[in-house]
Amino acid sequence: MGDSSQQLLDFLQNVALFACPLIAYVFLFKSRQKFRSCQGQYSIADWNFFLKKWWVRWKLRQPQLCHRPTTVGPVVELMATQADEDREKLRTLAKEKEVDSMAISGTDHKGNSIHLKITRKQHNITEVWLHVQLEDGSVYQLPGHPDTTIQSNNKSSWSGGGLKFHICEPLRRWRITFNGLLRHGVKHKGNIQDKENDVIVHVQFRFIWTACSDVIDIQRDWSTELMCNALAREPWRNGKWMKMRKQIGEGYDQWGTLQGTWTLGSDSNNVKELYLRGIRQRRYGTDEVVKKKE
């Protein structure tokens, strides 16, 4: 009887030695958490943050190893490969809310900037963003902006509203052209319906976008430690927590330069040469904007 009691006491002592530090840690963390405020959009780490972080790191280990890029980028390779061509191909929009978009931006030290974006959707629906600001402060947009939706045949090309993206070399060079009408000035919310005072001008521009960096995959080429920290801070209410990493979408970024001419009207004296530095972004997947509107 005495031996049994001693064994029970030893067992309880071992449990207490393990449980007391854990309980103290939880209470200390909870008491400190009351005095901490959430910084913007960032969630406050819970008491089991480090355990969740370890689990996330273990779950991400195999995907990171499996999808690690094995080919060098265009900065090193001179000739495009078949993998490069496959990556640049137009995506097949099989689902109702699936989209495929490309955005090209550039700016210089003088104040010239340009932002172009084409988003392909099903049923030949295309969203086109075109915003150009010159060093004198003048701004040019499509006449229908902020309504960016147009109807065009987008199954075989990046085009819409007079704006065209044409691939020259996969992941290396693109040709960007526009020939059409733009509105001079920004449309404010109070006068969206007022089109009588719009200043519509004819504009042509031609640019060559040239890559200056390798491709940066937005799912695979960012810090695993940063991903672990972000996922471990989120609440895990069900087994779908790993899908949160898909919220940033699929695609890639690439730095480059835009070089070409901007022509206002038909006067050859209004030709302006531009050399802009910026980024090209490719995104594809589900249109999250449509989801939020439902």
pLDDT by residue (tens digit) across 10-21?
666 776 666 666
Residue 137's nearest CA partner among 160, 110, 157, 164 is 110
Predicted pLDDT at 6: 66
pLDDT (tens digit, 9 = 90+) per residue, 157-206?
A: 999 999 999 999 999 999 999 999 999 988 766 566 666 678 899 999 99
Q: Name 85's Cβ contacts closer than 8 Å, sequence gap at least 6.
A: 170
pTM, to two decimals? 0.74
Alpha helices in the chain (DSSP H): 2-33, 49-66, 82-88, 224-233, 288-293
Question: Which tens digits make up the pLDDT trace of 86-119?
Answer: 999 998 888 888 899 999 999 999 999 999 999 9
User: Which pLDDT score is estimated for 197?
Assistant: 73
Q: Is 103 helix (H, G, I), strand (E, B) or coil?
A: strand
Task: Of 38-47, 75-84, 143-152, give the range with the top mean pLDDT.
Answer: 143-152
Tokens for 162, please give them.
């007079």
Query: What pLDDT is recorded for position 96?
Result: 80
Q: Which residues pair with 160 in a beta bridge?
A: 163
Tally of CA atoms within 13 A in the half-sphere of 123 that contains its CB: 5
pLDDT score at 293: 40
The mean-pLDDT minimum among 24-33, 46-55, 282-291 falls in 24-33
Which tokens go with 214? 């390798």
108, 207 in Cβ contact below 8 A?
no
Beta bridge partners of 106: 114
Q: What is the pLDDT of residue 72?
A: 45
pLDDT at 32 > cutoff 50:
no
- Cα atoms in the Cβ-side hemisphere of radius 13 Å centred on 32: 10
Q: Is the dihedral of CA 146, 147, 150, 154 positive or negative?
A: positive
Are 211 and 256 in contact, with CB atoms under 8 Å apart? yes
Residue 233 has pLDDT above 70, yes or no: yes
The pLDDT tens digits of the residues spanning 234-256 come to 777 666 666 676 666 789 999 99
| Average pLDDT value for residue range 59-84 | 61
**182, amino acid identity:** L
pLDDT digits (tens, 9 = 90+) for 192-224: 666 667 889 999 999 999 999 999 988 788 777
Residue 180 CB coordination number (10 Å): 13
H-type alpha helices, 34-122:
49-66, 82-88
| Identity of residue 35 | F
CB 92 within 8 A of CB 80: no
The tens digit of pLDDT for each residue in 120-153 reads 998 889 999 999 999 999 999 999 888 888 888 8
Q: Which residue has the higher pLDDT, 31 or 250?
A: 250
| Cis preceding linkage at 146, omega within 30 | yes
Mean pLDDT across the stretch 77-87? 84
Taking phi over 0 as left and psi of -120 to 50 as alpha, with beta for the rest, 108 belongs to beta
**10, 114, 180 from 169: Cα distances, Å:** 73, 22, 26
- pLDDT at 158 (0 to 100): 94
Rounded mean pLDDT, 80-90:
89
CB neighbourhood size of 291 (10 A):
9
